[in-house]
Amino acid sequence: MKNADLLKIAKTYGNPVYVYDSEKIISQFNRLTNAFKGVKRLRLNYAAKALSNISILRLMNSLGSGLDTVSIQEVQLGLMAGFKPESIIYTPNGVSLEEIEEAAKLGVQINIDNLSVLEQFGSKHPDIPVCIRINPHVMAGGNSNISVGHIDSKFGISIHQIPHLLRIVELTQMNINGIHMHTGSDILDIDVFLYASEILFETAKNFKNLDFIDFGSGFKVPYKEGDIETNVEELGKKLTDKFNTFCKEYGKELTLAFEPGKFLVSEAGYFLAKVNVVKQTTSTVFASVDSGFNHLIRPMLYGANHTIENISNPQGRERYYSVVGYICETDTFGNNRRINEISEGDILCFKNAGAYCFTMASNYNSRFRPSEVLWHDGKALLIRERESFDDLVRNQVDVKNLFTSEKAEIAVK
Ligand SMILES: Cc1ncc(COP(=O)(O)O)c(C=O)c1O
């Protein structure tokens, strides 16, 4: 997107504001689809958790994407956005049997990641096909918080528990129609994918009625200039060969599924915030914006490096700044960043703000969550209003008179 478009959006809708470029989402979707064009049956299930605004979900649906969900609420959002139940996969972790049954009632594909629930669900509903999430014991992912396929991870059923899993399947007579893994996010090395895929293929041989194999996600996208990204084209070629060979051996054309979040929406997102204060201290120059980790937590949570640009003064002399938020704790978006000279009132643009940004926003410090705008066909469309004070207090129950003198008298009597 052009700076002028972003500045106009900030002027029209105020700041801070999230902006999503539909063209980038579409091109990423097409790129991934193309990379796997050698697979007869490919399914991309967009990971709703990355960015779950209903208008974004509608865009994904229009592209022919399926939906990967992790909560009953995400399932409901997906249905509301027009996804057919059969194109939604529900991959929860640590949720109650009741929630899984609720999702099953809605007709979505169930994915179970522990033996306890598998046994209970299979005993009660042997006719509902179930996918199982395997933990392949592979260390992958760009940060320990997003490495989820290793031996100490809470996710998936260990490959060492396959004998127990098979016994449950046999005793309950349940139907396993899919097998799944997700080893982590920001995986750089495609050999990790390929290695884990071998484990998945080996495991898949134990099940006779599979319809699909789901390789999860974890594609790394570039965050700054010169950054490395997952080579999806190379992965596409190599995994396609392995997959097609496996299908021949298996004797059936299976669906190859992925559930990308970051790959589809990260680079499409821009977060715009206004500089309230430029503060020179003895050691640095701080630029404080009208936002904080309540709106964009990834730098504080994962050490994520979002490129920050001063779109109000793109030709200005570059200087070093620490860009910080207004939250009353350490709240740093980036230290020692070279940014075009900043003045109070300038609009800073944070890149890669599409994935895990708005969806992780909170009301911490009793701030409103920002608005969201979709940039589509050269037009800006508001897809979420900025919160108001009413939103902040909507669900609070005010015990108005409990602490007044009137009430105290009543208590004494
Ligand atoms: C089960 C599952 N699938 C898919 C994703 C999406 O991963 P990414 O955003 O790296 O594509 C995640 C992310 O946490 C996940 O937990």
Co-location of 369 and 278 in the same domain: yes
Contacts of 138 (CB under 8 A, 6+ apart): 149, 150, 183, 192, 195, 196, 199
Asked if the structure places residue 125 within a domain, the reply is yes
Of 44, 49, 150, 267, the residue with max ligand 1 atoms within 8 A of its CB, to mutate for a pocket test, comes to 49
Could you tell me if the CB of 50 is within 6 A of ligand 1?
Answer: yes
* Within a domain: 31: no
Is position 406 within any domain?
no
**What's the mean pLDDT when you consider all of the chain?**
94
Q: Residue 408 falls within a domain, yes or no?
A: no
SS (H, E, C) 323-346: EECCCCCCCEEEEEEEEECCCCCC
Assigned domain for 253 exists: yes
Q: Are residues 83 and 227 in the same domain?
A: yes
DSSP class of residue 394 equals T
Supply the CATH number for residue 166's domain.
Answer: 3.20.20.10
H helices of 262-317, in order, are 262-265, 298-302
Domain closes at, from 197, 228, 260: 260
Is residue 145 over pLDDT 80? no
295 and 168 in a single domain? The answer is no
Q: Is 357 a catalytic residue?
A: no
Q: Ligand 1: which residue has its CA nearest to atom 1?
A: 182
Tell me, yes or no, whether 12 lies in a domain. Answer: no
Query: Per the structure block, which two tokens stand in for 375?
Result: 């940039």
CA atoms within a 13 Å half-sphere pointing along the CA-CB vector of 299: 24
Based on the domain organization, do 254 and 302 belong to the same domain? Answer: no
Above 60 in pLDDT, residue 141?
no
pTM (2 decimals)?
0.94
Known binder of ligand: residue 356? yes
* Residue 339 confidence (pLDDT): 98
Both 234 and 85 in one domain: the answer is yes
Contact 253, 40 (CB under 8 A): yes
One domain, residues 302 and 201: no
Q: What is the span of the domain harbouring residue 294?
A: 269-393
Kindly state whether residues 149 and 203 are assigned to the same domain: yes
What is the count of structural domains for the chain?
Answer: 2
Within-domain flag for 175: yes
Determine if ligand 1 sits within 6 Å of the CB of residue 217: yes
Ligand 1 proximity of 185 Cβ (cutoff 6 Å) = yes
Both 335 and 252 in one domain: the answer is: no
Sign of dihedral through CA atoms 333, 369, 352, 239?
Answer: positive
Whether residue 126 lies inside any domain: the answer is yes
- Cβ-based neighbour number of residue 163 at 10 Å: 8
3-state secondary structure of 413: coil
Mutate to test the pocket of ligand 1, among 182, 192, 219 (most ligand atoms within 8 A of CB): 182
Indicate whether 62 and 108 sit together in one domain: yes
pLDDT tier for residue 413 given thresholds of 50, 70 and 90? low
Are residues 229 and 361 part of one domain?
A: no
Average pLDDT over residues 177-187: 84
- The predicted pLDDT at position 226 comes to 85
Residue type, 376: H
Ligand 1: nearest atom to the Cα of 93: 1
Residue 286's CATH number: 2.40.37.10
| Tens-digit pLDDT profile for residues 45-60 | 999 999 999 999 999 9
- Point out the ligand 1 atom lying closest to the alpha carbon of residue 133: 1
Instruction: Say yes or no: 278 and 253 in one domain.
Output: no
Q: In the predicted model, is pLDDT for residue 409 greater than 80? A: no
User: pLDDT-based confidence at 8, cuts 50/70/90?
Assistant: very high
Q: 72-80 vs 54-62: helix axis angle to the nearest 10?
A: 60
- Which DSSP helix (H) or strand (E) runs through 116? helix 115-124
Whether 66 lines ligand 1, by a CB cut-off of 6 Å, is: no
Please tell me the least confidently modeled range out of 57-61, 147-151, 196-200.
147-151
DSSP state of 114: -
According to the model, what pLDDT value does residue 189 have?
81
Q: What are phi and psi of 124, to 5 degrees?
A: -85, -35
Counted residue by residue, the chain has a size of 413
Determine whether the shortest distance from the Cβ of 141 to ligand 1 is under 6 A: no
- 296 shares a domain with 188: no
Task: List the catalytic residue out of 247, 328, 349, 357.
Answer: 328
